[in-house]
Amino acid sequence: MTKNETVDLLKSQLPGFYSAEQVINLIEKIEEEQVKPKLSVTQVREIAQSIVDAIEEEASNDNIVCFDDVEFELDYQRRIEVTDVPINYDVIRDCVENSLTLAFDESQEEDDIVELERGEE
């Protein structure tokens, strides 16, 4: 039961007095609403850019492509062709995970600061 459902239930009851026990029971049945974090377009762009930056940094450090495992073949015209370029997906996954974790941790800290400021007023 949500807060609004509880208020509607109380309004629909016949007018009268409620005992403290009835009110406490109703309050205990109220479920806390889940607050989902909302991101602005700017925040999404910043997160995307931080992911791109992290992947570019790993690429410049030669951590994404496994150059030692690149496979080549000699074709019938005696040309060398690259047949396989192994990608280290774990590095990419870590870049994405770390960027998202950092972004949401910072977002949570900002929300905490805003809540503290509201509480002090």
Question: What's the pLDDT tens digit per position in 10-55?
Answer: 667 655 666 767 777 777 777 666 666 677 888 889 989 999 999 9
- Residue of higher predicted confidence among 117 and 92: 92
Residues 25 and 50 in one domain: no
> Helices (DSSP H) in the chain: which residue ranges?
3-12, 20-28, 41-60, 89-120
Contact present, 84 and 70 (Cβ < 8 Å) = yes
Q: How many domains is the chain built from?
A: 2
Contact present, 2 and 31 (Cβ < 8 Å) = yes
Mean pLDDT for 96-114 is 73
84, pLDDT greater than 70? yes
Residues 23 and 70 in one domain: no
Look up the domain containing 62 and give its range: 36-120
77 vs 35: CA distance, rounded Å: 64
Residues 17 and 61 in one domain: no
> To which residue do tokens 């509201």 refer?
118
Residues 102 and 59 in one domain: yes
Question: What's the whole-model pTM score?
Answer: 0.52
Single out the residue of 98, 97, 93, 100 nearest to residue 64, CA to CA.
93
